[in-house]
């Protein structure tokens, strides 16, 4: 958590899959501090210090709801999905939300079943990885998985630093597997109908070269309270590719 003297409310930041709360402590996010009383950097279920609990992600949403009666949300990728999911299930709690490269939910039953199957295979692979707490970079099989996962074409030319990898090594593979089974994209409902009635002001950002989420942005445009903006020269991880542009767009939206 970052404590500020600003008179505004609270901002909660939710990270992507295999990351943790420290991944969201970025310079451009800290520049938002004057706008808020407090900024919370939170470990999503199955990541960092937040374990998977029964009835996830609703257990997580209920916990977030104790932060303040109303707050703003900032979520990237998986964290953006969770932000939208909470917005759909806890109306009136979230005043404004900045959503980056996040899925609104699979609309086809066939596609949902296929995604559940692929998520389960990935979960099984994670569970099979040898892991010893406290060894960090010595968990070589997990390190190899993280490098492979983060070299997917979705991320464009992004290259993780050793610091990025070490942050991800703070997670446990078995907990990441639990996250996939509890609230992976295959488990997430289609949020579009629920979000159609939301009064929360939304900003949806996506990278110009992220063709998958360009289509998702088209769905977001159908929401009456949603502003959509494409970030040039960026892939899925626009926070990494264009942090300065994201900061400028966010400040304009939040002021």
What's the pLDDT score for residue 168?
94
What's the pLDDT score for residue 136?
65
Q: Which helix (H) or strand (E) holds 183?
A: helix 173-183
What's the pLDDT score for residue 128?
96
Q: How much is the pTM?
A: 0.94
CB atoms within 10 A of CB 191: 21
What's the pLDDT score for residue 18?
97
Going along the chain from its start, the domains and CATH numbers come out as 2-108+188-254 (3.40.50.1820), 109-182 (no CATH)
For helices 109-128 and 173-183, angle between their N-to-C axes, nearest 10 degrees = 170
Cis check for the bond before 219: say yes or no (omega within 30 of 0): no
**Strands of 108-213, DSSP E:** 201-207
Residues in the chain with pLDDT values less than 50: 1-6
């Amino acid at each position: 958590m970052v404590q500020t003297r600003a008179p505004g409310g609270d901002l909660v930041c939710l990270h992507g899959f295999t990351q943790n709360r420290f991944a969201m402590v970025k310079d451009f996010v800290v520049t938002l501090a004057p706008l808020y009383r407090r900024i919370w950097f939170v470990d999503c279920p199955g990541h960092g210090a937040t374990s998977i609990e029964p009835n996830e992600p609703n257990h997580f949403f209920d916990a977030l709801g104790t932060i303040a009666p109303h707050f703003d949300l900032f979520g990237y990728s998986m964290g953006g999905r969770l932000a939208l999911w909470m917005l759909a299930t806890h109306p009136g709690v979230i005043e404004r939300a900045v959503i980056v490269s996040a899925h609104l939910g699979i609309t086809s039953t066939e596609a949902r079943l296929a995604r559940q199957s692929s998520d389960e295979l990935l979960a099984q692979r994670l569970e099979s990885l040898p892991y010893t707490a406290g060894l960090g970079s010595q968990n070589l099989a997990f390190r190899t998985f993280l490098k492979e996962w983060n070299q997917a074409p979705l991320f464009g030319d992004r290259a993780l630093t050793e610091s990025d990898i070490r942050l991800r090594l703070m997670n446990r593979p078995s907990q990441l597997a639990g996250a996939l089974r509890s609230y992976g994209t295959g488990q997430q409902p289609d949020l579009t109908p629920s979000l159609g009635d939301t009064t929360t002001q939304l900003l949806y950002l996506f990278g110009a070269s992220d063709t998958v989420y360009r289509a998702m942005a088209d769905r977001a445009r159908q929401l009456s309270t949603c502003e959509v903006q494409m970030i040039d020269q960026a892939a899925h991880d626009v926070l990494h590719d264009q942090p300065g542009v994201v900061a400028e767009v966010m400040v304009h939206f939040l002021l």
